[in-house]
Amino acid sequence: LYSSCCIISAVRAFNDPVPQSLNLPQPPGPVMRAWTCHGRTQAELVDRLTQANIVQSPLVQSVLQAVDRANYVPNDPYMDAPQAIGQGQTISAPHMHAYALEALLPCLQQQKEHPEQQRDLRILDVGCGSGYL
């Protein structure tokens, strides 16, 4: 099952259907994919990332709703694509931030749920020129 999920996720990320030869279940109905989750507002962008199953947890969804990308991106902030932010720098596409937050969430939750085992949790985001993530 784990391998199947990884294969399906990787195939979906490249906007291709799951190959029939893999003998894996096909997703029901149309699937939204990364790079296609554009919105006209922050709420619409996050809704589309959620529909695409990129945002999976309510906590990540609420965090993304709370921090408006327009505060960090001067043009087309709700486009699901990297954007120039000046000085030759870019901010990653929103789906990349969503993937990163979903990947970090279990570590952060474990830290909170087991304070007796607490160690210094440190996260380094190299190249975070905008401060968004």
- Report CA 77 to chain centroid distance, whole Å: 15
- Let me know if 9 is a catalytic residue: no
Q: Which of 16, 94, 3, 15 is nearest to 48 (CA)?
A: 94
- Give the chain's end-to-end CA distance (angstroms, integer): 31
What's the Cα-to-Cα distance from 37 to each of 29, 44, 104, rounded to whole Å?
A: 17, 9, 21
Marked catalytic residue, from 9, 57, 62, 92: 92
- Report CA 79 to chain centroid distance, whole Å: 13
Give the active site residues: 92
